[in-house]
């Protein structure tokens, strides 16, 4: 591909092409930045510049670096262990078969997790209530060449509307200081993309029927395996939601039936908590999604995805996204937190 | 544009960043909206873009060219990130075409319904393009960068910009042809003016959804 192309003929062609494209797909109408956020972001920028210039070793920066550490260092460790520790599971009533394959150990673990989930105590959630989830999260910014840069870990709180009908404001989010509404253009009813308690409660509790339903409802991203998309979908449904115990159990049992699911003896979530992992590698995209569970309580701790192979400038072990769930609950209003009145 | 803004930005001049913000906040905000389909996400992307510009100022190439490609490039990366994270978790519009939105603008005025429908239609078509094509189209056609500037913004060769736009055009032409074929079968709608203005504006959503790529 040559980078030249500034000749007059080229320029004319460019102009014609752009004009045609503009005719085919006109730009959406422009808007001014509303004045409050305009000033807020300007202040934030100026404050940031002042902070950087006034302080050589700002305390805030030290904290950030400390937080980043586990995120950057653990995946390699997790990967190394994952390779070494495909061992027999001995704690859950298996017969101690030393030839057990990884597939079996993941299945046994998922069954145990499902059993625990089935016994958990979840009160039904009303439509006028909100699911609250507080998490520690970071996503990587992807570059064209495959390289990525993980943003600093930060806290996020989200309030999710439980209305079943189509609504345009689906929640609120607090991330990096301010509250922001979550809007969906055209509105969104409860469903696979907006899994409310009631919608989740309506799913089949038979794992086979549920898995079939999930395969039907899930669309893989470009270049992603369908099985991976379904595995990720289950993780998404389990991650930032509240549902009846029998539905959570069914989701775990369904996950156990997806081919390629493995068990990792030592997994770490974004908050640095060690536990046991359930993972699946997408052999098309060469990324892994790993769920982390507390070794004793088998509670869901978080999720992480990372590359399993060098791709372009992207390196094996690069973390693409990670989230640790810190708190989960039901509240009656936006900006209210479990166990406390509205702020 | 003030002379030497680029040099002052590279040097970390505080006032230069204030000027940069004042000149480009709106441009970045609208570009981010076109890529994410969500004004509140666009606002975050806009804010983060300028913070990132500050952090990466030393990597800026010297010279005296406009800073718009640089900022829109940063914003494009931010928006891609926003779409990824939130797209997966909260299922924003960018991931897949929304269900027909007809009945739900009940509390809007008639004019706003048309605006919203039109916007939704443009986004539906836009959503049919590949990510790379969307980005280049938004930069070159909607934000007015030339091909070389778009290449600079994205850090890709000009030839790649060209081929992506060419693919986008082919795709959009095909959709437009489908639409013409539909019109021959049916008498024109009452929304004739809107249709002339925006090729896809008044199109029923099913037409796009029935033809997955």
Supply the CATH number for residue B91's domain: 1.10.1740.10
In total, how many domains does chain B have?
2
Q: Tokens representing A145?
A: 């060449």
Query: Residue A61 belongs to what H/E stretch?
Result: helix A59-84
Overall average pLDDT of the A133-149 stretch: 82
User: How many other C-beta atoms can be found within 10 angstroms of the C-beta atom of residue B127?
Assistant: 16
Gap between the Cα atoms of A101 and B70, Å rounded? 52
Note whether B180 and B132 are same-domain residues: yes
Note whether B182 and B127 are same-domain residues: yes
Give the per-residue pLDDT at B109: 53
Q: Most A CBs within 10 Å: which of B29, B31, B112, B174, as the mutation test of the A interface?
A: B29
Q: State the complex-level ipTM.
A: 0.74
Q: Which chain A residues touch B92 with a CB distance below 8 Å?
A: 184
Give the per-residue pLDDT at B138: 95
Note whether B123 and B211 are same-domain residues: yes
Query: Of A22-36, A68-82, B22-36, where does the model show the most confidence?
Result: B22-36
Residues 6+ apart with CB under 8 A from A264: A78, A81, A82, A85, A276, A277, A278, A279, A290
Gap between the Cα atoms of A244 and A249, Å rounded? 9
CB within 8 Å: B77 and A143: yes
Q: Does B112 touch chain A (CB under 8 A)?
A: no
CB within 8 Å: B84 and A27: no
CB within 8 Å: A189 and B99: yes
Which of B38, B65, B95 is a domain's end point?
B95
Note whether B32 and B72 are same-domain residues: yes
Which of B95, B120, B144 is a domain's end point?
B95
Note whether B74 and B126 are same-domain residues: no
Give the per-residue pLDDT at B186: 57
In a domain, B104, yes or no: no
Note whether B190 and B128 are same-domain residues: yes
Q: Which chain A residues touch B155 with a CB distance below 8 Å?
A: 143-145
- The string of pLDDT tens digits covering residues A250-305 is 999 999 999 999 999 889 999 999 999 999 998 887 889 999 999 999 999 999 99
Note whether B126 and B188 are same-domain residues: yes
- The string of pLDDT tens digits covering residues B39-81 is 888 998 999 999 999 988 988 888 888 999 999 999 998 888 7
Overall average pLDDT of the A220-230 stretch: 83
Give the per-residue pLDDT at A240: 83
Q: How far is A33 from chain B (nearest CA, A)?
A: 6
* Nearest C-alpha neighbor of A324 from the set A34, A31, A67, A22: A67
Gap between the Cα atoms of B141 and A126, Å rounded? 47
Q: Which chain B residues touch A239 with a CB distance below 8 Å?
A: 89
Contact between residue A155 and residue A327 where contact means Cβ atoms under 8 Å apart: no
Q: How far is B15 from chain A (nearest CA, A)?
A: 9
Residues 6+ apart with CB under 8 A from A158: A132, A133, A134, A135, A171, A172, A173, A174, A182, A240
Q: Which chain B residues touch A180 with a CB distance below 8 Å?
A: 40, 43-44
Q: Which residue on chain A is closest to B157 by alpha carbon?
A: A3
Q: Does B21 touch chain A (CB under 8 A)?
A: yes
CB within 8 Å: B43 and A180: yes
Which of B32, B64, B95 is a domain's end point?
B95
Q: Which chain A residues touch B43 with a CB distance below 8 Å?
A: 33, 37, 41, 180
pTM, to two decimals:
0.52
Q: How far is B122 from chain A (nearest CA, A)?
A: 7
Give the per-residue pLDDT at A15: 86
Q: Most A CBs within 10 Å: which of B142, B166, B199, as the mutation test of the A interface?
A: B142
Q: How far is B6 from chain A (nearest CA, A)?
A: 17
- Backbone angles phi and psi of A155, in degrees to 5: -85, 145
- pLDDT-derived band at A89, boundaries 50, 70, 90: very low
Q: Between the CA atoms of A142, A147, A151 and A156, what dihedral angle is there, to the nearest 10 degrees?
A: 40
Note whether B133 and B162 are same-domain residues: yes
Residues within 8 A of A (CB atoms), B 60-99 only: 77-78, 80-81, 84-85, 88-93, 95-96, 98-99
Q: Which residue on chain B is closest to A147 by alpha carbon?
A: B77
Of B25, B84, B165, the CB nearest to A38: B25
Give the range of the structural domain holding residue B8, as residue numbers without chain letter: 1-95
Q: Which chain B residues touch A1 with a CB distance below 8 Å?
A: 157-160
């Amino acid at each position: 591909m040559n980078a030249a192309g500034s000749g007059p003929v080229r320029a004319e062609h460019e102009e014609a092409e752009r004009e045609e494209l503009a005719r085919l797909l006109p730009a959406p109408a422009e808007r001014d930045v509303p004045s409050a956020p305009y000033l807020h972001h300007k202040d934030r920028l100026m404050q940031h510049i002042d902070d950087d210039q006034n302080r050589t070793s700002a305390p805030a920066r030290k904290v950030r670096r400390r937080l980043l550490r586990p995120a950057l260092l653990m995946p390699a460790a997790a990967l190394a262990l994952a390779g070494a520790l495909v061992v027999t599971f001995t704690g859950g009533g298996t017969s101690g078969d030393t030839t057990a394959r990884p597939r079996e150990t993941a299945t046994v673990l998922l069954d145990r997790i499902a059993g625990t989930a089935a016994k958990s105590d979840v009160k039904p959630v009303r439509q006028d209530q909100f699911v609250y989830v507080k998490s520690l999260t970071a996503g990587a910014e992807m570059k064209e060449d495959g390289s990525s840069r993980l943003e600093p870990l930060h806290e996020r709180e989200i309030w999710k509307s439980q209305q079943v009908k189509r609504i345009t404001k689906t929640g609120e989010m607090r991330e990096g200081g301010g509250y922001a509404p979550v809007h969906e253009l055209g509105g969104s009813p409860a469903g696979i993309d907006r899994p409310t308690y009631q919608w989740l409660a309506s799913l089949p509790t038979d794992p086979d029927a549920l898995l079939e339903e999930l395969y039907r409802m899930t669309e893989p991203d470009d270049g992603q395996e369908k099985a991976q998309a379904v595995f990720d979908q289950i993780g998404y449904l389990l991650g930032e939601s509240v549902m009846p115990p029998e539905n959570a159990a069914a989701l775990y049992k369904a996950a156990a039936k997806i081919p390629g699911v493995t068990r990792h003896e030592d997994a770490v979530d974004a908050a640095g908590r060690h536990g046991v992992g359930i993972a699946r590698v997408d052999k098309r995209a060469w990324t892994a999604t790993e769920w982390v569970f507390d070794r004793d309580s088998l509670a869901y701790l978080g999720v992480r995805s990372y590359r399993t192979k060098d791709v372009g400038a992207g390196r094996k072990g690069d973390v693409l996204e990670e989230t640790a769930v810190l708190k989960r609950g039901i509240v009656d209003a936006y900006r209210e937190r479990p166990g406390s009145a509205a702020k | 544009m003030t002379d030497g803004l680029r040099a002052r930005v590279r040097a970390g001049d505080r006032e230069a960043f204030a000027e940069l913000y004042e000149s480009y906040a709106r441009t970045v905000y609208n570009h981010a909206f076109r890529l994410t389909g969500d004004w509140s996400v666009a606002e975050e992307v806009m804010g983060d873009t300028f913070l990132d510009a500050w952090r990466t100022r030393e990597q800026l190439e010297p010279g005296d060219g406009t800073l718009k490609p640089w900022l829109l490039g940063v914003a494009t990366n931010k928006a891609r990130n926003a779409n990824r994270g939130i797209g997966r978790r909260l299922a924003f519009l960018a991931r897949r075409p929304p269900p027909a939105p007809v009945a739900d603008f009940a509390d809007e005025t008639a004019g706003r319904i048309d605006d919203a429908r039109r916007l939704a239609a443009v986004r539906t078509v836009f959503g049919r393009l590949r990510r790379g094509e969307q980005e280049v189209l938004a930069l070159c056609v909607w934000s007015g960068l030339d091909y070389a500037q778009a290449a600079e913004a994205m850090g890709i060769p000009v030839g790649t910009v060209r081929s992506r736009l060419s693919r986008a055009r082919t795709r959009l032409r095909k959709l437009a042809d489908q639409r013409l074929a539909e019109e021959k079968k049916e008498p024109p709608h009452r929304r004739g003016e809107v249709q002339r203005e925006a090729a896809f504006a008044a199109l029923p959503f099913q037409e796009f959804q029935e033809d997955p790529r």
